[in-house]
Amino acid sequence: MKDFERGIKSATGFFALRDDDISYFTSPSMLETLYGSAWKQGFKPSLAIIPKRKIHGKSFSIAENRELVQFIKTKIDESHVDVIQHGYAHSTIADKAEFQIRDFRRVDRMLAKGRAILEKTFDCQISVFSAPHDAVSRATLRSLQRRGLCLCRRFTLGRLLAVLPPERVKIPYLVKAIARSPNPFRLVPDTRIEVLDTPIIQWTAILSPRSSDKPSAPRSLRWKEAKRLFAARKNRNQPFVLLHHHWEYFGDNGKEGLLETEGLRLLNAFLSYVSKTGVAKTSLSEVCEGLACGS
């Protein structure tokens, strides 16, 4: 945290990178290939890890992939990665995403069990949560507040009002948020939403290396849009959070090697651009801690 505090004093803006769906099925070679250049430039991706991936009725704990665990622990020691919790099993319950259900006890139990798995496996503190498909309920928000976890998710004002637990809301902050974004169908403009005891960190842009993603918008144009959003956040001294999925760059869980060479080239070009702007290269956990401490 001291390194983060020193960094932000001389920086203009903040940059964090969230990589979803790290699980038992992720191979270290995928992360090495994807982030080799980023690590040399000082970036610290936040790995959103699924504690106990469930597929076809069978569960696969992240702890069982010992090669991946050791790789990530080494990268944590080198300050190359950050670990955040990504759901519990990345499954559905009664046709809903697991953290979209309204059963508080069940949600709270999954949240606690998943956090315990990650903290024991990686010997680190988990302070940030992201839900599979970004789907959360009011019960999830209540559980996160109870556990002292920041949420990383993007909200429209209408969706935010629908899931906020009223007994936990800081009214002055909510009034300010409504005044800044009165249209319930538009995104809340700030990266940081501080209407609860533990802040919400909004991701800014989601990018896919695959050409099948939004085929009407060429990849090069989508990266240009990311640059525009980054510049806007930087000018307001707001964190910019880039969201992507490591597996989209590979085939068959990495067994086929890197398939999206152009996607990786564009990612590295964007990170090189960011690196030259003087922003603080931070992690979601550091952003959460800094917000909680009032930085």
> In CATH, what number is assigned to the domain containing residue 123?
3.20.20.370
**41-97 per-position pLDDT tens digit:** 999 999 999 999 999 999 999 999 999 999 999 999 999 999 999 999 999 999 999
Q: How is 8-23 classified by DSSP, letter by letter?
A: HHH-SSEEEEEEEEE-
Angle between helices 2-10 and 284-292 (to 10 degrees): 90
- Cα separations in angstroms, 123 against 43, 70, 175: 21, 11, 39
Q: According to the model, what pLDDT value does residue 10 have? A: 42
- pTM of the entire predicted model: 0.91
- What is residue 156's three-state secondary structure? strand
The whole-angstrom separation of Cα 174 and Cα 200 is 12
Give me the mean pLDDT over the 221-239 stretch.
86
CA 72 distance to own-chain centroid: 16
Phi, psi of 20 (to 5 degrees): -85, 155
Q: What is the pLDDT of residue 259?
A: 79
How far apart, in whole angstroms, are the C-alpha atoms of residue 133 and residue 99? 9
Count Cβ atoms below 10 Å from residue 257 Cβ, excluding itself: 13
Q: How many domains does the chain have?
A: 1
Reply yes or no on whether the pLDDT at 293 is more than 60: no
Instruction: Give pLDDT tens digits for 146-172.
Output: 999 999 999 999 999 999 999 889 999
Task: State residue 272 phi and psi, 5-degree precision.
Answer: -65, -40
What is the domain range of residue 227? Answer: 2-292
Total residues belonging to the chain: 295
pLDDT interval class at 1 (50, 70, 90) = very low
What integer pLDDT is reported at residue 217 of this predicted model? 53
Report the pLDDT averaged over residues 210-226.
Answer: 63
Residue 57, classed as helix, strand or coil, is coil
The pLDDT of residue 187: 87
Query: What's the token pair of residue 261?
Result: 């060479």
pLDDT at position 212, please? 46
Whether 40 has a pLDDT exceeding 70, the answer reads: yes
Q: How confident is the model at residue 225 (pLDDT cuts 50, 70, 90)?
A: confident
Dump pLDDT digits (tens) for 170-206. Answer: 999 889 888 887 788 888 888 889 899 888 999 999 8
Per-residue pLDDT at 120: 98
Q: Is the CB of residue 256 less than 8 Å from the CB of residue 250?
A: yes
